[in-house]
Structure 1
């Protein structure tokens, strides 16, 4: 087996949009004049916008539809996305993407984010030319930890799973890669809280550790 394709997760691997979502949600709570505790906000982790909005309507007896609240949240998110000074690529990831690209490794994005968010990230940071495909898990029937998104990404790369590697940062993503029988490199970032890396094949804290010469003992 040899490494021919790398399947990238996006959030927590290429960018960290969590702080932007957080700011957008709290600006929304402010506009709706509701006080949401840290505990309640934490319980929203990984939930869809629709589910969060439905919870707020129920809990606070709001007269809004979940669509209306989602529109408010999205407009704040876009504003922070375009203008937040601190929002940038995760350190070292651009260099890693370029390194794979120069060495003719096919790159596929396999993210749970919506295609709108994926395209916003790719446009803002000029990533389009490096990737040969993008898949949004939001458009699939099953989401991670179901392996579907990574199996589709391997198909898109036209490579057998043994010639692919997944880069993930979350318990669900690592489990999905494991179920797809694809070698998984887990990126442990300073922001990763309570994620389980047990099923990852390797765990790294710096993207230099995923350069091809360092991976040669696995592929």
Structure 2
């Protein structure tokens, strides 16, 4: 029986990819590297540090991965504070309220840093709906490693078999698969060139997974 829902954040709760795209590309320009679209898209769902570790090695940069992270976060914070287009994904707040009102425990499991998670949850007043928030940046391994979802299931207080994950990235779906947790892939216009073939269910709108629709999934 379904007891808990584990949400990814970027691309599921907020349309933050445009801000991340701008922040990363401002960082690329600042350190004078040319990152292809294919390489950039392969990073979707990963935490910032492993991305910067790969960039540092691939482009033989003088900056450390930690310095690259700092540069990228500097640009993201500026954009977060000044870009008025930043908003919740259409329909997700109604979905969150629907689950919460029906007694499901909600957990966030995001590759974003905890300061970014808290910034977004404060801006959109989401803390009251979630029992726990987990950041992949605090873990040794990023998605597609399953650790974050294994920990999220524990944080919900229920067994993995009583949880589902909502994800939008190839790496996130692989992580949910590896954790053996039922995975719903959100195929949206914000997530390009991602592989949803191993998800248990694929949706394009959140009204497809209202509580009355998903309560019998498990």
Indicate the TM-score class for this superposition, using the shorter chain for normalisation.
0.7 to 0.9
Distance 1:178 1:71, change over 3 A: closer
Match of 1:114 in 2: 113
**How much has 1:134 moved relative to structure 2?**
0.8
Secondary structure of 2:89's aligned partner: coil
Name the Cα RMSD after superposition.
2.4
How far apart in 2 are the matches of 1:29 and 1:20? 14
* Residue 7 of structure 1: aligned partner: 6
SS in 2 for 1:14: coil
Unpaired runs of 5+ residues, structure 2, are: none
TM-score scaled by length of structure 2: 0.86
Out of 88-97 and 176-185, give the one that drifted further: 176-185
Q: Secondary structure at the match of 1:73?
A: helix
Q: How much does 1:88 deviate?
A: 0.6
1:207: how far off?
0.4
Q: Do the aligned partners of residues 44 and 206 (structure 1) sit closer, same or farther apart at CA in structure 2, a change above 3 Å counting?
A: closer
Equivalent in the alignment of 1:54: 56
Partner secondary structure for residue 185 of structure 2:
strand
CA distance in structure 2 between the partners assigned to 1:17 and 1:72 by the alignment: 17
For 1:56 and 1:215, locate their aligned partners in 2 and report how far apart those are by CA, in whole Å. 43
Deviation at 1:118, TM superposition (A): 1.0
Displacement, 1:199?
1.6
Aligned equivalents of 1:147 and 1:37: distance in 2?
27
How far apart, in 2, do the equivalents of 1:180 and 1:73 lie?
A: 30
Displacement after TM superposition at 1:147 (Å): 1.8
Which stretches of structure 1, 4 residues or more, deviate above 4 A after TM superposition? Answer: 29-32, 37-41, 64-69
**1:42 and 2:44 are equivalent in the alignment:** no
Unmatched tracts of structure 1, length 5 or more: none
SS in structure 2 of the partner of residue 74 of structure 1: helix
Structure exhibiting the larger radius of gyration computed from Cα positions: 1
What SS is found at the alignment partner of 2:112? coil
Per the normalisation by structure 1, the TM-score is 0.86
Shift of 1:186: 0.7
Residue range with higher mean Cα deviation, 87-96 or 72-81: 72-81
What is the deviation of 1:183?
1.3
Paired with 1:29 and 1:148, the residues of 2 have a C-alpha distance of 29
Corresponding residue SS for 1:165: strand
Which residue of 2 is the match for residue 20 of structure 1?
Answer: 19
Instruction: Summarize the Cα distance change of 1:41–1:165 in structure 2 as closer, same or farther, 3 Å threshold.
Output: closer
